[in-house]
A = this chain, B = another copy of it.
């Protein structure tokens, strides 16, 4: 089997993710009557029925993903298929990473500003990519976030991260959030340490894919 069906399915997953994201945004902003809200809920229930026809288990990776190749379409920060994700767009550099996104109403904490926990979530993801730019992906060991100024909704944001040190299996990273228009004005600052996975840990974590290889060779070899 060629790449066609897999790429087409990835594209359909991203389209559905985008529609669901738009809908989630509207649900937090709409002021239509309770009757329209309830009618919408009923129609969503019907859509859910169709999607329920074939559902994977938690242990089985999504067929559109490629864990070893770094394709995670349902990641809650950068996955185009996950309606929770803005999604943040990321570029990996030589000793760091940079990300961009604009956050709507759904991410609101204090009125008209981004929820502090959402800022922490974006940073955790971006610093993880920065740490992985050393060639060894790892898991977050600790993360410290300092909130300097409120982060505005509906304004293009920039999230950055740079590796400051590598010691044994530990990678130290600093980073932060600014607006795209004022990259010199820190809104949020952060530092974190990541721990590289040992080969046996990595293989256990990605063992789901090994089972998928055996069960579904057409998809796995795409």
What is the interface of chain A, defined by CB distance below 8 A to chain B? 5, 8-9, 11-13, 15-20, 22-24, 26-41, 43-48, 50-56, 58-59, 61-63, 67, 74-77, 81-84, 105-112, 115-118, 120-125, 128, 139-147, 150, 153-154, 205-206, 208
Contact = CB atoms under 8 A, between A and B. Distances in A.
A174 to B, nearest CB: 14
A157 B64 CA distance: 29
A119 B151 CA distance: 20
A46 B20 CA distance: 11
Contacts of A124: 115-117, 120
Given A111-B67, A121-B115, A55 B29 contact: yes
Contacts of A5: 34
Given A53-B32, A55-B31, A109 B143 contact: no
A82 B110 contact: no
A128 to B, nearest CB: 8
Nearest to A15: B41
| Copies of this protein chain in the complex | 2
Contacts of A45: 19, 22
Contact of A117 (B51, B112, B123): B123
A81 to B, nearest CB: 7
A111 B28 contact: no
Contacts of A117: 76-77, 120-125
Contacts of A38: 12, 15-16
A142 B144 CA distance: 7
Contacts of A62: 28-29, 31
A151 to B, nearest CB: 11
A38 to B, nearest CB: 5
B37 A15 contact: yes
16 contacts: A12-B41, A16-B38, A19-B45, A22-B45, A26-B51, A43-B43, A58-B154, A74-B106, A74-B108, A76-B107, A76-B115, A84-B106, A116-B124, A117-B120, A142-B145, A142-B147
